[in-house]
Chains A and B, each alone.
Chain A
Amino acid sequence: IANSYNRPTLIQLQNTREEEEEQQTTAQQEEQTKRWEATELEEEHVHDAAVPPLAGDPPAADPPSPPPSKDDFQEELVIRPLHSGDIYASFQFRTVWDADFMGDQKVSHYRLFPKSLGQVITKFSVRELHISFTQGYWRTMQWGQPYLPSPPGAELWVWFQDTVTDVDGTWKELTNVLSGIFCASLNFIDSTNTVQPSASFKPLGIGNVTDHSFLRYATLPREIVCTENLTPWKKLLPCGSKAGLSVLLKSEKLFHSTFHSQAVHVRPVCQDPQCRTTSMELRQTLNVVFDLHTSGQGKREWSLFKMFSRTLTEACPLASSSKVYVDVTDNPQGEQFELSPATPLLTQAVVLGDRRTYSVYDLTQQASFGSSRSLNMLLRWKMLRPLLHSERYVAGYGLQAGEIHTLIYNHHPYRAFPVLLLSAVPWYLRLYIHTLTVSSKGKDNRPSYIHYQPSKDRERPHLLEMLLQLPPNSVTEVTVEFERALLKWTEYTPDPNHGFYVGSSVISALVPSVVAMDTNSTLDRPLFSSFFPCKEEASYFMRVYTEPLLVNLPTPDFSMPYNVICLTCTVVAVGYGSLYNLLTRTFQVDEPSPGLAKRIANVIRRFRGVPLL
């Protein structure tokens, strides 16, 4: 009841907002001339849901039609990603005909307006007719408000002309006829489930009728909606399901969804701003919510083909306007997701009290279809671009030297901010601190503070700390070369060929904040927001850890240490020892040993103190 009660007031609200919006949009156009096409005014009349336009000319794009009965057809599809990750697609087909069904001369020549409905309207003197078939319940808490609400099952409410004398009889007859037209069980509507609301269901078209005795309202909650209801509904369209947006309405996909609702609304609307004459408006709407999680990928990406198993190839040739809107409000800078093909056309509209931004595809323009002659919009979520992130890797090859690269990304579009980089590198990677380079955007970036503590073998690691200024939207690269040390054989881990770890570098930063930070006491703040003390309003503290590194060191073959030791010792002992011997020894020919007499003589001479022989 609340829903229906709100309806008239809501429309009026929207009405006044529209005026405001026009003023705002002109201001906005000046602000953002690049992004906003000058299609504003043309777009807006699409959203003047129920009331005659207050300002501006009637649509100029009407096709030339014979003057006595001018008719016009528009089609439109709105796609809106919902917060739950589901996709909401809402079709609206609007036929406006300047014929007076209630007039004296009988309307017999139909062009765009479906004859079956026209005859019903004429015969039963229907002033307004609203009928909806819905399968599923709209989950407001997950999905927000729908563009066109409807209850589960079937709903029918009709305002009859005040010329009708037997309203109940006509109502009974009308429901039976509609039952036939839509292949639905509307014939089960009788006096037991029909009411005459006194306030909620005011006419949505022109005319201030207050006598609610001409209103009948009924719902059939048990009504099950399926293909047999969709087909007659599609037959009411001028292009059927042959061309235009209606080619997407394939029942196997529409009924493979979490919510499906189709409706027909007939009402009189003003023909021109002065409201001198009236026209009949037929609005056919179809709302569907797809849950793309269940249909495979488990991703929030969608495309027309994934949802409808069809792509768009042309507009309905009878339509004066044929557009597809995609809600891109959550993606103002284009950083969240990417919509392809891209369209330059954007429009804003205030719906349900919320200003939303839409990308517009105009199907009457051949350019919308591109070279492939088919339009398959698809949305991809982009990788997040956090303000600060980092990456680290070991460059180079071979087991002698290497280079540690640390990349620090600042994705802030215009603010530079300082970071502190700390790396602690184990001693077995001997850093060559003279090779330390810091560069951003191809230029040298001198750290304003460097603290370096060299390592001591087997005692303490290298400590390198520096204060860097990250230019906006840049990558800062810190590189330092190192040499891999040869460890003592007892110092290797049991799995030396796995490599040796170098712990994460730590980047501490004061990142500029978009919102003012609360620098007051942390007492009453939630625990998760009060860990890092906040000193400034304009920035917040943040810490980023890089990946750890796995570095291979030169490793002896431990699989046969015994062999290695034995072999080395043998080679050294035998080869080197004897070679050294050969090279350093002087060779002399031995003199033959002296005879016995000579030796005795020498002994005697030694005693005498004279030189030996």
Chain B
Amino acid sequence: MGLLSDPNRRRALIGMLTRLNAPICMICYMAGVAWFMGLAFEPFTLRTYMSENAMGSTMVEERFPAGERALATGREFAAHKKKTGGMPVDWLVRTMQARGLEVYTQRFSRKLPFPDEDKERYMVKGTNVYGILRAPRAPRTEALVLSAPCSPGNENNQAVGILLGLAQYFRSQIYWAKDIIFLVNEHDLIGMQAWLEGYHHTNTTGMDWSPLQGRGGSIQAALSLELSSDVVTSLDLVLEGLNGQLPNLDLANLFYAFCQKIGVLCTTQGKLPRNDWDTTSGYSHAVQTMMLMVLKQASSRPWGDHGLFLRYHIEAASIKGVNSFRPYKTDATTVGRLLEGMYRKLNNLLERLHQSYFFYLMPSLTRFVSIGYYMPAFGLLALILLLRALDLWVQLSSPPTRTTEDGVEVVPASPGVLSILTPLVISHLTGVALYTLPVLSQELAVEHFPVSETEAVVLTAIAIYTAGLALPHNTHRLLAGEGTEQGWKVLKLVAVLYLAVLLGCTALINFSLGFILALTLVPLAAFITPHVPKTLSAVVMVILSPGLTLLFAVFFFQELQETPVTLQEGWMLYLSVISQGILDHALYGSLLYPLAALLVYPCWLLFWNILFWK
């Protein structure tokens, strides 16, 4: 600090920073990206290990015998589902009662803000059925949840079968210390949301549900099972939840430990762990796995039914059965044994899962990158913003004096508050319009244009987004007159600091989202001035804008999933992703849409404003 309090040395340091600002920024950017790419390189990552003592040292023996019977129950469930044309509530209640559970149902209904064309639903009405296995000699203070969705068509019948099979087997065991809740939820996440809100008696999204009649106390952990075939080749673990929340890493470790013990192939992001880290293909495999996780986390949506538990501080994950063309198959008994083992270990927990990491990335199921390792990558990018801000601050505090012909030094007048405030307010008003208008004006749009409601919402959003490009840089002139050189610098300083705070906060909550936004917005924030070539810069800015970032992310995600799409399909996918984003916000309270519309987009508009400063 002596360095800063000494004016001479301070001047020297500042002088160096302003002189070398651009090269330092370049180096920081490249170092940030390189650091991030290095995260997938195996020697830089840590091997996963079980931190929780209660689960690590105790041994359990899995004895679940009745896989075939569970599958038969699943088929019976399928038949009843087909007959009732939806959730066979009566049958489920009867079957769970016959297995000795305390059975309750919950009805719920929800009107979506606009029709969901992906899942073809608008007015949703459904019933959740859950049975509670009361632990002997336990006071109903703790519970574990096993859930399986009742999906339309032939999906997930085996999951319900195994759930009921496990219920029957668990019922006859004496060692349970926590109540176990077996939940079959209808309409996947909407049903899950209704159940969780009912269980915790909150209402965050305005859904109608009937209050729950039975509870098991505080839920310690939950697993959601998705299984659509009698045999599986591998089990996939899905961790990403709402708003990029992740369960404790120990849950993933537990899953991996049992897969190893029982001998089941297990994957994350659908990718097997590989050992050839020193080859290019091995490294690129790890990068792909990690990038998939980053993209999924950045999307802020729940990627399985477990995703909504995380809001309630319940560690949860989804386990999906994958049946591919590999020769080696795993039968239902083995899957049941795996779940039995996991539940017995969770049953042994004395405290909630808390020993291991909550913030991590996984380049494979056996390796992880903790927050301490990945944060510097973002820090390097954020540093650029601070350096630019410092540069601007210095330029503003020592204004270049111009000497007129008379030899009188003229200090340019500092810009009025209004000239800064106006673009700021207008950008944010545009953001508010982008946030509110698409859903509000859907009826109007449907009346005047030949589009469906969903299309109307998405196209209105895109239209407002595009219209926003024209709006602010025209109006600020009308209001505040001619912009000055000082004016854009102050505006840019504000914008850069704004962006730094915004990205910093986002990255703390959801690293992936923060990093992806930083990757595109930071270079733009760094280079933009009114003096760069207008047309070229405008094109670059539009390409780096949040909307197009999303488009690229869609194509990139499809590429990583090995299901590449054509431009046309990609565009359709892009439109559906926007509508899903808006729906996720309305249905589950995902924060991506308001964040993008109310903060990121206005911030980007500020830079757009600077580019067209007159």
Q: Which residues of A contact B (CB under 8 A)?
A: 297, 299, 301, 380, 391, 393-399, 403, 405, 495-499, 501, 547-552, 555, 559, 574, 577-578, 581-582, 585, 587, 589
The contact of A498 among B7, B202, B352, by CB within 8 Å, is B352
The contact of A582 among B4, B202, B350, by CB within 8 Å, is B4
Q: Which residues of B contact A497 (CB under 8 A)?
A: 351-352, 354
A398 to B5, alpha carbons, bound, how many Å? 43
Q: Are B4 and A550 in contact (CB under 8 A)?
A: no
Q: State whether A498 and B217 are in contact (beta carbons under 8 Å apart), knowing that A550-B142, A585-B5 are contacts in the complex.
A: no
Q: Are B200 and A552 in contact (CB under 8 A)?
A: no
Q: Are B313 and A552 in contact (CB under 8 A)?
A: yes
Interfacial residues of chain B within 428-455, with CB under 8 A of chain A in the complex:
none
Q: Are A397 and B5 in contact (CB under 8 A)?
A: no
Q: Are B98 and A297 in contact (CB under 8 A)?
A: yes
Q: Are A395 and B200 in contact (CB under 8 A)?
A: yes
Distance from B79 Cβ to chain A, minimum over Cβ atoms (Å): 14
Jot down 6 A-B pairs with beta carbons below 8 A, ordered by A.
A547-B141, A550-B141, A550-B217, A574-B1, A577-B1, A582-B4
The contact of A578 among B4, B202, B217, B354, by CB within 8 Å, is B4
Interfacial residues of chain B within 289-315, with CB under 8 A of chain A in the complex:
311-313
Q: Are A581 and B202 in contact (CB under 8 A)?
A: no
Q: Which residues of A contact B141 (CB under 8 A)?
A: 499, 501, 547-550
Q: State whether A396 and B1 are in contact (beta carbons under 8 Å apart), knowing that A495-B350, A550-B217 are contacts in the complex.
A: no
Task: Give B4's nearest chain A residue, CB to CB.
Answer: A582
Q: Are A399 and B355 in contact (CB under 8 A)?
A: no
Interfacial residues of chain B within 133-190, with CB under 8 A of chain A in the complex:
139-142
Q: Are A582 and B5 in contact (CB under 8 A)?
A: yes
Q: State whether A397 and B202 are in contact (beta carbons under 8 Å apart), knowing that A499-B352, A581-B5 are contacts in the complex.
A: yes
A391 to B218, alpha carbons, bound, how many Å? 14
Q: Which residues of B contact A396 (CB under 8 A)?
A: 200-202
Task: Give A495's nearest chain B residue, CB to CB.
Answer: B351
Q: Are A581 and B1 in contact (CB under 8 A)?
A: yes
Q: Are B201 and A403 in contact (CB under 8 A)?
A: yes
Q: Which residues of B contact A299 (CB under 8 A)?
A: 98
Distance from B316 Cβ to chain A, minimum over Cβ atoms (Å): 13
Q: Are A391 and B215 in contact (CB under 8 A)?
A: yes
Distance from A408 Cβ to chain B, minimum over Cβ atoms (Å): 14
Q: Which residues of A contact B140 (CB under 8 A)?
A: 547
A397 to B589, alpha carbons, bound, how many Å? 14
Distance from A609 Cβ to chain B, minimum over Cβ atoms (Å): 37
Q: Which residues of A contact B215 (CB under 8 A)?
A: 391, 393
B97 within 8 Å of A by Cβ? yes
Q: Which residues of B contact A549 (CB under 8 A)?
A: 141, 217-218
A550 to B349, alpha carbons, bound, how many Å? 15
Q: Are A582 and B218 in contact (CB under 8 A)?
A: no
A551 to B313, alpha carbons, bound, how many Å? 12
Q: Are A499 and B350 in contact (CB under 8 A)?
A: no
Q: Are A548 and B139 in contact (CB under 8 A)?
A: yes
Interfacial residues of chain B within 81-103, with CB under 8 A of chain A in the complex:
97-98
Q: Which residues of B contact A587 (CB under 8 A)?
A: 5, 7
A405 to B1, alpha carbons, bound, how many Å? 54
The contact of A397 among B1, B139, B312, B352, by CB within 8 Å, is B312
A399 to B311, alpha carbons, bound, how many Å? 11
Distance from A54 Cβ to chain B, minimum over Cβ atoms (Å): 46
Q: Mark B195-235, 1 if CB is under 8 A from A, else 0.
A: 00000111000000000000101100000000000000000
Interfacial residues of chain B within 330-375, with CB under 8 A of chain A in the complex:
350-352, 354-355
A600 to B5, alpha carbons, bound, how many Å? 33
Q: Are B313 and A578 in contact (CB under 8 A)?
A: no
Question: How many A-B residue contacts, CB cutoff 8 Å?
Answer: 71
Task: Give B352's nearest chain A residue, CB to CB.
Answer: A497
Q: Which residues of B contact A501 (CB under 8 A)?
A: 141
Distance from B156 Cβ to chain A, minimum over Cβ atoms (Å): 27
A380 to B96, alpha carbons, bound, how many Å? 13
Q: Are A559 and B200 in contact (CB under 8 A)?
A: no
Sorted nearest first, the 5 A-B pairs with minimum C-beta distance are: A395-B201, A578-B1, A497-B351, A550-B141, A498-B351
Distance from A548 Cβ to chain B, minimum over Cβ atoms (Å): 6
A498 to B177, alpha carbons, bound, how many Å? 13
Q: Which residues of A contact B350 (CB under 8 A)?
A: 495, 498
With A499-B352, A549-B141 known, 17 other A-B pairs at CB within 8 A are A299-B98, A301-B98, A380-B97, A393-B201, A394-B218, A395-B200, A396-B202, A397-B200, A398-B313, A495-B351, A547-B141, A548-B141, A550-B141, A552-B352, A582-B4, A582-B5, A585-B5
Q: Are A397 and B313 in contact (CB under 8 A)?
A: yes
Q: Which of A394, A496, A550, A574 has most B Cβ within 10 Å?
A: A550
Q: Which residues of B contact A499 (CB under 8 A)?
A: 141, 218, 352
Q: Mark B537-580, 1 if CB is under 8 A from A, else 0.
A: 00000000000000000000000000000000000000000000
Task: Give B99's nearest chain A residue, CB to CB.
Answer: A297
A581 to B201, alpha carbons, bound, how many Å? 50
A239 to B604, alpha carbons, bound, how many Å? 87
Q: Which residues of B contact A548 (CB under 8 A)?
A: 139, 141
A299 to B202, alpha carbons, bound, how many Å? 37
Q: Are A559 and B355 in contact (CB under 8 A)?
A: yes
A559 to B312, alpha carbons, bound, how many Å? 22
Task: Give B7's nearest chain A residue, CB to CB.
Answer: A587
A297 to B355, alpha carbons, bound, how many Å? 42
A37 to B422, alpha carbons, bound, how many Å? 82
Q: Which residues of B contact A547 (CB under 8 A)?
A: 139-141, 217
Q: Which residues of B contact A550 (CB under 8 A)?
A: 141-142, 217-218
Task: Give B202's nearest chain A residue, CB to CB.
Answer: A396
A562 to B218, alpha carbons, bound, how many Å? 31
Distance from B136 Cβ to chain A, minimum over Cβ atoms (Å): 15
Q: Which residues of B contact A301 (CB under 8 A)?
A: 98
Distance from B94 Cβ to chain A, minimum over Cβ atoms (Å): 8
Distance from A162 Cβ to chain B, minimum over Cβ atoms (Å): 60
Q: Which of A297, A498, A547 has most B Cβ within 10 Å?
A: A498
Q: Are A399 and B4 in contact (CB under 8 A)?
A: no
A501 to B140, alpha carbons, bound, how many Å? 12
Task: Give B139's nearest chain A residue, CB to CB.
Answer: A548
Q: Which residues of B contact A551 (CB under 8 A)?
A: 218
A551 to B218, alpha carbons, bound, how many Å? 8
Task: Give B94's nearest chain A residue, CB to CB.
Answer: A380
A380 to B90, alpha carbons, bound, how many Å? 13
A472 to B444, alpha carbons, bound, how many Å? 50
Interfacial residues of chain B within 209-268, with CB under 8 A of chain A in the complex:
215, 217-218
Q: Which residues of B contact A574 (CB under 8 A)?
A: 1
Distance from B168 Cβ to chain A, minimum over Cβ atoms (Å): 11
Q: Which residues of B contact A559 (CB under 8 A)?
A: 355
A578 to B4, alpha carbons, bound, how many Å? 9
Task: Give B103's nearest chain A residue, CB to CB.
Answer: A383
Q: Which residues of B contact A399 (CB under 8 A)?
A: 313
Distance from A265 Cβ to chain B, minimum over Cβ atoms (Å): 39
A10 to B202, alpha carbons, bound, how many Å? 66
Distance from B98 Cβ to chain A, minimum over Cβ atoms (Å): 6
Q: Which residues of A contact B351 (CB under 8 A)?
A: 495-498
Distance from B283 Cβ to chain A, minimum over Cβ atoms (Å): 32
A581 to B218, alpha carbons, bound, how many Å? 48
Distance from B52 Cβ to chain A, minimum over Cβ atoms (Å): 10
A217 to B97, alpha carbons, bound, how many Å? 51
A550 to B97, alpha carbons, bound, how many Å? 27
A497 to B97, alpha carbons, bound, how many Å? 34
Task: Give A587's nearest chain B residue, CB to CB.
Answer: B7
Q: Which of B7, B141, B312 has most A Cβ within 10 Å?
A: B141
Distance from A85 Cβ to chain B, minimum over Cβ atoms (Å): 16
Task: Give A578's nearest chain B residue, CB to CB.
Answer: B1
Interfacial residues of chain B within 55-98, with CB under 8 A of chain A in the complex:
97-98
Q: Which residues of A contact B200 (CB under 8 A)?
A: 394-397
Q: Which residues of B contact A297 (CB under 8 A)?
A: 98
A499 to B7, alpha carbons, bound, how many Å? 54
A212 to B144, alpha carbons, bound, how many Å? 75
Q: Which residues of A contact B313 (CB under 8 A)?
A: 397-399, 552
Distance from B217 Cβ to chain A, minimum over Cβ atoms (Å): 6
Q: Mark B258-283, 1 if CB is under 8 A from A, else 0.
A: 00000000000000000000000000
